[in-house]
Homo-oligomer: A and B are copies of this chain.
């Protein structure tokens, strides 16, 4: 199950652990959690370092020990979310080979993380284009990796079933269904991540399975 523990999850084996990882991470995790709340309430542009200091109970100079700017903080929040989602997705996909099941696992993985981290979900959606230069490129690379995995899963499913739907429109429609949930999800009405994931995956899988019209797929690379 998705945990909202705010530790910085790293890609195992991709970068070496920092010498002081545990303690540093715990404190940084706490800051990221407070910063997510502040960005959610005031918006990234409207939030000041002073707001962040007040919310986290850490002095301004203390905050600058962990990151150099408000932009770096937003970068860390986004990086944390996407690396966590990707890491968990890889773990899940490693154990499944059926194309339909793999798409269902993708939906479950995404919704489990987002329903457990709804404020992060909103900040990710709203502050999507704020990061520039290096920070922006790094996040875009993570998103591209995620998008490509999803397109790969949809392509596998299409091959198995002989479908011709556009993978681009299919995957982006699926992201829309999943990401829009932060605007309407009510746990008392809508059940848990597993229930919603099952319903959304049903609509998506049946939806793309029945699309036989190939006029668009010929016009562009899927």
Checking B126, B178, B190, B208 against A126 with a beta-carbon cut-off of 8 angstroms, the contacting residue is B126
A211-B204 Cα distance, complex, nearest whole Å: 10
A47 (CB) vs chain B CBs: closest residue: B45
Please tell me if the beta carbons of B45 and A169 are within 8 angstroms of each other in the complex.
no
Do residues A211 and B216 form an inter-chain contact, with CB atoms below 8 A? no
Residues of B within 8 A of A45 (CB): 42-43, 45-46
Give the chain B neighbours of A204 by CB distance below 8 A.
Answer: 203, 207
Task: Tell me the residues in window 169-187 of chain A with beta carbons closer than 8 Å to chain B beta carbons.
Answer: 169-170, 172-173, 175-181, 183-184
**How many monomers of this protein are in the complex?**
2
Residues on B with C-beta less than 8 A from A42 are 45
Q: How far is the CA of A213 from the CA of B216 in the complex (A)?
A: 31
Would A176 and B181 count as touching, CB distance under 8 A? yes
Is A209 an interface residue, CB under 8 A from the partner?
yes
